[in-house]
């Protein structure tokens, strides 16, 4: 498939935004359970929510560049019963609204307990909004990934690993960003978020390497023989029906050589999995305020390469009709 940068930015930006929000609410739940010191409403939770929102809005804006008719984008909420894309279009704004509400509640300080469970756990408005938003964040990971995983004849994508990878990549980059954010504003949560970020990064490494292994050995169901229905071991294409390009030759071919793809693969494995783990480790050791930021920058750059590679990995069966493009 041809990698579309609009979609690459959409999936990586909202993934990190969701992850950052999940990091914030994790922090709040931990402090509710007295496992962490409570943080400042405005400086940490409200600003953190704004940061997550910026990422989500940026991702949404990027997605509009993918559309031929962005002014009709509102129509895309119509077919949520059958289309994962439609579901994503519904869940994303809902999630953004709840993140905004969560940030606003903390900013305004409306965090007086509304009621408490058994007199021990105090429930306030921010916790209700936050937990609901967290559920939507996970739903959004599923929706985004299922857009790709539900296309059964794109066999490289049609796997549960796609959903797991999208979720873990989002969590890893989000928690890395949370560590960077904490380090930058001087909150003592770098170790907490950094540890989670490393854990998610390592988990993502396992599942992504598993999908790389799977895709390298994939056996495609369709062949040129089934594509045109000729039972012969030797079938050669002599003409594709046109001499210049067409949508079929632009949309479904990445046009990159094996060497370039190999390089991209090495770069993303290095930048997504190895560099951030080392940087976060060093940052935790020397109490650096900017190294976690560098870790996030490296990981995000790596994720752009990863998503690019994700697209080039998928071989669409329609390509069989354009043999000379290989």
Partner 1 sequence: MTQLALVIDLNVCVGCHACVTSCKEWNTSGWAGPMSDFHPYDADPTGTFFNRVQTYEVGEFPNTETVHFPKSCLHCEEPPCVPVCPTGASYKREDNGVVLVDYDKCIGCKYCSWACPYGMRELDEKQKVMKKCTLCIDRITDQSLPETERKPACVLACPTSARLFGDVHDPDSEVSVAIREQGGYQLMPEWGTAPANHYLPRRKTRIRIHEDELVRADNPLDKEAIELPDEQGETLDDVAW
Burial classification of residue 55, based on how many CB atoms lie within 10 Å of its CB (0-12 exposed, 13-18 middle, 19 or more buried): buried
Select from 121, 226, 260, 266 the one that contacts partner 1 (CB under 8 A): 226
How large is the greatest C-alpha to C-alpha distance in the chain, in angstroms? 78
Interface of this chain with partner 1, residues 20 to 59, rule: CB under 8 A: none
Select from 79, 214, 262, 287 the one that contacts partner 1 (CB under 8 A): 79
**Tokens found for residue 118:** 């058994």
Whichever of 83 and 288 has its CB closer to partner 1, that residue is 83
* Residue 227 makes contact with partner 1 by CB under 8 A: yes
Angle value at C-alpha 144, between 139 and 150, nearest 5 degrees: 105
**Tokens found for residue 197:** 């970020």
* Residue 324 makes contact with partner 1 by CB under 8 A: no
Using the contact rule CB under 8 A, the part of the chain among 17-25, 33-41, 66-74, 163-171 near partner 1 is: 66-74
Q: Cα separation of 55 and 60, whole Å? A: 9
Using the contact rule CB under 8 A, the part of the chain among 108-116, 171-179, 264-272, 313-321 near partner 1 is: 313-321
* Residue 66 makes contact with partner 1 by CB under 8 A: yes
Whichever of 38 and 245 has its CB closer to partner 1, that residue is 245
Whichever of 77 and 128 has its CB closer to partner 1, that residue is 77
Sign of the Cα pseudo-torsion (32, 37, 41, 47, in order): negative
Select from 41, 86, 162, 299 the one that contacts partner 1 (CB under 8 A): 86
**Tokens found for residue 134:** 């967290």
SS3 257: coil
**Tokens found for residue 93:** 């704004």
**Cα-based distances in Å from 150 to 44, 92, 140, 160:** 38, 19, 15, 10
* Residue 215 makes contact with partner 1 by CB under 8 A: no
Whichever of 38 and 70 has its CB closer to partner 1, that residue is 70
Select from 31, 111, 215, 248 the one that contacts partner 1 (CB under 8 A): 248
**Tokens found for residue 304:** 């752009």
Residues that bind partner 1 (CB under 8 A): 1, 66-70, 72-73, 75-79, 82-86, 89, 147, 150-154, 221-222, 226-230, 232, 234-248, 251-252, 316-319, 321
């Amino acid at each position: 498939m041809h990698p579309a940068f609009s979609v690459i930015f959409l999936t990586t930006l909202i993934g990190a935004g969701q992850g950052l929000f999940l990091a914030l609410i994790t922090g709040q739940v931990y402090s509710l359970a007295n496992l962490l010191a409570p943080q400042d409403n405005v400086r940490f939770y409200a600003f953190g929510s704004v940061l997550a929102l910026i990422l989500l809005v940026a991702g949404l804006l990027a997605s509009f560049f993918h559309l031929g008719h962005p002014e009709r984008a509102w129509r895309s909420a119509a077919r949520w019963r059958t289309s994962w894309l439609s579901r994503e279009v519904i869940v994303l704004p809902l999630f953004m609204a709840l993140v905004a509400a969560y940030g606003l509640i903390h900013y305004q300080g409306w965090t007086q307990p509304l009621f408490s469970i058994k007199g021990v756990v105090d429930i306030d408005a921010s916790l209700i909004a936050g937990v609901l938003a967290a559920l939507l964040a996970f739903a959004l990971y599923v929706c985004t990934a299922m857009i790709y995983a539900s296309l059964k004849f794109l066999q490289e994508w049609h796997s549960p690993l796609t959903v797991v990878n999208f979720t873990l990549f989002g969590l890893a980059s989000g928690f890395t960003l949370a560590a960077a954010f904490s380090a930058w504003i001087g909150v003592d949560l770098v170790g907490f978020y950094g540890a989670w970020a490393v854990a998610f990064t390592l988990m993502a490494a396992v599942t992504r390497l598993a999908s790389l292994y799977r895709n390298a050995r994939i056996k495609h169901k369709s062949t040129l023989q089934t594509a045109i229905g000729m039972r012969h071991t030797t079938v050669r294409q002599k003409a594709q029906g046109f001499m210049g390009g067409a949508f079929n030759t632009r949309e479904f071919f990445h046009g990159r050589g094996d060497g370039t793809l190999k390089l991209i693969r090495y770069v993303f494995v290095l930048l997504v999995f190895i560099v951030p783990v080392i940087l976060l480790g060093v940052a935790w050791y020397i109490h650096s305020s900017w190294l976690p930021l560098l870790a996030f920058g490296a990981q995000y750059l790596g994720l752009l390469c990863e998503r690019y590679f994700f697209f080039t990995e998928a071989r669409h069966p329609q390509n069989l009709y354009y043999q000379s493009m290989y």
